[in-house]
Amino acid sequence: SQKIEQNSEALNIQEGKTATLTCNYTNYSPAYLQWYRQDPGRGPVFLLLIRENEKEKRKERLKVTFDTTLKQSLFHITASQPADSATYLCALDNYGQNFVFGPGTRLSVLP
Amino acid sequence: GAGVSQSPSNKVTEKGKDVELRCDPISGHTALYWYRQSLGQGLEFLIYFQGNSAPDKSGLPSDRFSAERTGGSVSTLTIQRTQQEDSAVYLCASSFALAGPGSPTDTQYFGPGTRLTVL
């Protein structure tokens, strides 16, 4: 059966450092991978989408990589700030078939 | 314009009662999704609607759960004979379109959720 794993449940880093979150999957061949941010008491908010034939995608301080051989995506936040503290979810997409979210990683950026 | 709205924001009910949760998607969005999120857990897909097509109900956990979407807009998720394990946040999302050949699932815009507590 399909399985998606994300980091440890929680990740603490110091302000200014680069946060790296992982998303690993098995028994799935996604054509796309999306990352969302979720703050407490709110719904997830879309951040980035990367296609299977793209190695890397950037948006401001965010960078996503997608390795279909390793079945892994890495999500980086450079120069992290306390305001980046949230839960980050990866989501796998195969043209709408079996669109599925990972369990999320709770990131805390400490001042 | 307005985002996705959900009502009520909180619902406390007694075991065995029926509940209805409402979702108003973004105007013009043809796809609508329902998810469930238990405390500290990821999003569990329940059902999606795309235009006038038959909904994909593959994620509904039991026959106590049903959903409808009237006029291609507002959706209602109904849980009959609620159980304590139904307690969770129920999230609704909408997108402009569902994926097609060669295109990804469009960005989903989420509502704030309805927190359901079954006593």
Cβ of A95 and B111 within 8 Å? no
pLDDT value for A95 = 66
Q: Name which of A31, A46, A102 is nearest B108 (Cβ-Cβ).
A: A46
Cross-strand bridge partners of residue A58: A63
pLDDT value for B105 = 65
Report the largest interatomic distance among the alpha carbons of chain B, rounded to a whole angstrom: 46
Which residues in chain A are contacts of B103 at CB distance < 8 A? 95
Cβ of A96 and B4 within 8 Å? no
The gap from C-alpha B119 to its chain's centroid, in whole angstroms, comes to 21
Mean pLDDT of B67-89: 93
Higher-confidence residue of B100 and B14: namely B14
Coil/strand/helix, residue A11: strand
pLDDT band at B1 (very low <50, low <70, confident <90, very high): low
pLDDT band at A15 (very low <50, low <70, confident <90, very high): very high
Q: How far is A51 from chain B (nearest CA, A)?
A: 9
Beta-carbon neighbour count of residue A98 at 10 Å?
14
Q: Cis ω on the peptide bond leading into residue A40 (within 30° of 0)? A: no
Spatial distance between the Cα atoms of A47 and B51, rounded to a whole number of angstroms:
25
Spatial distance between the Cα atoms of A109 and B103, rounded to a whole number of angstroms:
35
Do residues A36 and A45 touch, judged by C-beta distance below 8 A? yes
Higher-confidence residue of B116 and B108: namely B116
Establish, for the pair of chains A and B, how many residue pairs have beta carbons separated by less than 8 Å.
Answer: 60
